[in-house]
DNA sequence: TTCTATTTGCAAGTAACTTGCATTTGTGAT
DNA sequence: ATCACAAATGCAAGTTACTTGCAAATAGAA
């Protein structure tokens, strides 16, 4: 198992705020997310912490972090589900050939147009989130 | 196995255009898609045709239809992948509680804003498609 | 009708999680 | 500091959704 270590950012409080116990496993997982600027999979985290953590624990942790809102699920049309820190709202452009990911921020205009769609909806009232991902070839793969 | 039957719409030509042989299985699957106005899963199709078709064949057929462009994959954040006919471009509002789906058409404005995002991208050139799904509670589940 | 590549059925295999249960550990109360 | 207990973890087995290998069947061309 992992040993307790000090972390730069205060993840202890983040865990506490969300009703989680402050364990080395959870700190280590949050560390990896903070060091990685693109969405990652459970398996990626498992490999990074291999020997120090059980894969089932990774899945369980990611799942509870997602429910509490610390993490966000991202579907990149690949084999498995990706997660990223849920601290700034953005979307992705994904190369379906090599897997390259580029982030983009949603403009105020798009946000406004989406909320208009919800207002016009007959059956829906409470829209919490949305996915918006672009798929295609990056400049390298497009050659 | 399924017997050959006449279908109202000419799926025979659709299959031929896409280089597929005209089999009862494929016609039956296309029938189900044309009768169903929302995205469906491989398992849904299998149940509809139970006893007349093998589940592996359903998966194989959906996969090749998706590659050829007859069908479109939709990720509705549920257990399995959904498919729908790829004949008119639209998106979905999904109730994460009961699974209710409402379609919406993308406005010209959104389309324009998305293409501006691609133009501004440094790493990407050839964007083929995008996902845009809204998630939340429908009016019934929101109570 | 015959030939052949494609399609299908069947069964086994795989990848990505999930779950049950025993053990360990963090945390608040004493 | 110690205790008590719920929460967290490890391990192994289970599940689900899908995939693959291969032999048999069949659509479509000749």
Considering chain B, what percentage of its residues have pLDDT values greater than 90? Answer: 73
Whether B4 shows a pLDDT value over 60: the answer reads no
Summarised one tens digit per residue, pLDDT across range B20-68 is 999 999 999 999 999 998 999 999 999 999 989 999 999 999 999 999 9
pLDDT band at A4 (very low <50, low <70, confident <90, very high): low
Q: How many Å from the CA of B90 to C1' of D12?
A: 45
Mean pLDDT for A40-67 is 97
Mean pLDDT for B77-89 is 92
Q: How far apart are CA A16 and CA B67, in angstroms?
A: 47
Most confident of B25-29, B75-79, B114-118: B25-29
Which pLDDT score, from 0 to 100, does residue B1 have? 58
pTM: 0.87
Residue that has been written with the tokens 């691609």 in this structure: B118
Q: Which residues of A touch B77 (CB under 8 A)?
A: 73, 75, 131
Q: How far apart are CA A100 and CA A68, in angstroms?
A: 28
Q: Which residue of A has its CA nearest to B138?
A: A124
A138: helix, coil or strand? strand
Count CB atoms within 10 A of the CB of residue A124: 25
Whether A6 shows a pLDDT value over 50: the answer reads no
CA B142 to chain centre: 27
Residues 6+ apart with CB under 8 A from B116: none
Strand D proximal to B18 Cβ, under 7 A: no
Strand D proximal to B66 Cβ, under 7 A: no
Q: Is B142 on the interface with A (CB under 8 A)?
A: yes
Number of H helices, E strands in chain A: 5, 6
Whether A113 shows a pLDDT value over 70: the answer reads yes
Inter-helix orientation angle B108-120/A108-120, to 10°? 150
Which pLDDT score, from 0 to 100, does residue B97 have? 82
Mean pLDDT for A4-28 is 85
Give the largest Cα separation in chain B, rounded.
53
Give contacts of A 105-124 with B, CB under 8 A.
Answer: 107, 109-110, 113-114, 117-118, 120-124
Which pLDDT score, from 0 to 100, does residue A77 have? 85
The closest CB to that of B134, out of A95, A127, A142, belongs to: A127
Q: Which residues of B touch A135 (CB under 8 A)?
A: 127-131
Q: Which residue of A has its CA nearest to B73?
A: A77
């Amino acid at each position: 198992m992992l040993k307790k270590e000090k972390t730069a950012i205060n993840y202890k409080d983040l865990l506490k705020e969300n009703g989680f116990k402050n364990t080395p496993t959870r700190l280590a997982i949050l560390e990896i997310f903070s060091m990685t600027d693109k969405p990652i999979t459970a398996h990626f985290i498992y490999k990074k912490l291999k020997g120090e953590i059980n894969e089932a624990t990774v899945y369980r942790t990611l799942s509870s972090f997602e429910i509490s809102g610390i993490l966000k699920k991202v579907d990149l049309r690949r084999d498995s589900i990706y997660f990223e820190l849920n601290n700034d709202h953005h979307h992705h452009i994904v190369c379906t050939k090599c897997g390259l990911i580029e982030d983009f921020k949603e403009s105020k205009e798009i946000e406004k147009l989406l909320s208009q769609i919800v207002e016009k909806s007959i059956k829906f009232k409470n829209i919490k989130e949305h996915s918006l991902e672009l798929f295609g070839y990056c400049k390298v793969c497009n050659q």
